[in-house]
Structure 1
């Protein structure tokens, strides 16, 4: 296996030879103001701003979007009107259109989109309309991609639609189990779109994941231990626990990418 050390855009293999690799981007997804500030202060490459990550992330509130206004780190808002699947009604599409407008008005760099047909293929018509509404903004296709029956065909559709990147676990539950598929996607993309690995990415597997797949970006929540909310009985259904972004986990990810 090729052992890599990231240093100023170069890699060093086990024989000491140097070759150009380029920067591997680290994107952090957050669902709290505190998590947003932590990620901003640690200088990650990009932030995905979400509503509760306990349901996989939904559209953040307009107040949360405004909290990211003027961020030196690019912030993209998740545009997902509810939890569950990705087959959306025309009414839900209208909500997503308005949420894209809200992200633009809040000054965010971009949005994270996805929509599917009942056969799990990408809903190209709806995505065309959503992408048109987000014209000029940075665009990520979210993990609706991992539900598609033909990932290489979906890759081509994502490129045609104008997405800058695809967030994917390589059609596996966790990205480190989808390394081979991620590598195939990187080869098929051939620089036309970024393949960003996400789901279960952690300091103890990120280097091997990048090494095995050659992805140009990784995505993680970098959350710490579960904390109980103070004075909130769980039986009332308000949410029993919270997991905040952990600065130490982010630093561990960055160190691992540097070969430390």
Structure 2
């Protein structure tokens, strides 16, 4: 399973044609992504047939939210639900660097069909394995966790990612989806080491490694070849 980041309709249509399995729709990639406009969301979702996970993040300053910002998040989720959109990318922590389970529970309570990717707020937790266990009770709705193993990228976070994938399989909990720094050069070693079920790509599938450029079919094919071979050959 390959999920790719997109920021507009053109990206989304091209990604589907090139074989993306799922999209993450965001605005403002340089700051890690924030909530896109409802007009953009509807345009992208109407343009493709593959699943689209929509980022719900009101600002790029912190993953610790005030009550007012929590209400913004919940209202955005409610609005998306009114359009039949239940796939959400969400993450929130408490000041003590643990999962904000209150917000997760409130999101689920107001939309029992919600399909959540807990995003890289997860990487700022003080204990990632504890954070994973805290999310297991919500696995019917928190389907996956986007993480680089608490490091700047997946290569640096590889030992932790390996433990998290093992924990996923031991507990049958949310899927660990590695993301950050994945490209044709790194995916072989990472996949061979951790054998994750899903991977998340941003600049690694783009021409020149730039989000402002289109997708690179050659790099995508290289990545796909590596994943099909279980990472046994490198590009």
In structure 2, relative to structure 1, the CA distance for the partners of 1:245 and 1:86 (3 Å cut) is: farther
- In 1, distance between residues paired with 2:191 and 2:102? 33
Q: Which residue of 1 aligns with 2:190?
A: 209
> Is 1:41 equivalent to 2:17 in the alignment?
yes
Which residues of 2 match residues 80-159 of structure 1 at below 5 A? 80-159=57-136
* TM-aligned CA deviation for residue 158 of structure 1: 1.3
Q: Which residue of 2 aligns with 1:192?
A: 173
> Is 1:255 equivalent to 2:234 in the alignment?
no
Q: Using CA pairs under 8 Å that are at least 6 residues apart, name the structure with larger relative contact order, 1 or 2.
A: 1
Which residues of 2 match residues 233-244 of structure 1 at below 5 A? 243-244=212-213
* TM-aligned CA deviation for residue 107 of structure 1: 3.7
After superposing the two structures, state which structure 1 stretch, 120-129 or 97-106, moved more: 97-106
- Per-residue deviation, residues 130-167 of structure 1 (Å, max 9, x unmatched): 23234213211101111111111110111112311110
| TM-score relative to the length of structure 1 | 0.79
- Per-residue deviation, residues 2-50 of structure 1 (Å, max 9, x unmatched): xxxxxxxxxxxxxxxxxxxxxxx10001112221111122231111100
Residue correspondences, number: 222
- In 2, distance between residues paired with 1:67 and 1:106? 12
Name the structure where helix makes up a greater proportion of residues: 2
Paired residue secondary structure (2:208): coil
Greater C-alpha Rg: 1
| TM-score relative to the length of structure 2 | 0.87
Paired residue secondary structure (1:139): strand
* TM-aligned CA deviation for residue 226 of structure 1: 7.4
* TM-aligned CA deviation for residue 53 of structure 1: 0.6
* TM-aligned CA deviation for residue 86 of structure 1: 0.4
1:172 to 151, 154, 162: 151
Task: Tell me, yes or no, if the aligned pair for 1:77 and 1:103 is still in contact at 8 Å.
Answer: no
Q: Which residue of 1 aligns with 2:207?
A: 224
* TM-aligned CA deviation for residue 64 of structure 1: 1.4
Gaps of 5+ in 2: none
- Per-residue deviation, residues 167-188 of structure 1 (Å, max 9, x unmatched): 0001111011111111101111
Gaps of 5+ in 1: 1-24, 228-241
Task: Tell me, yes or no, if the aligned pair for 2:25 and 2:52 is still in contact at 8 Å.
Answer: yes
Q: Which residue of 2 aligns with 1:246?
A: 215
Q: Which residue of 2 aligns with 1:65?
A: 41
Paired residue secondary structure (1:77): strand
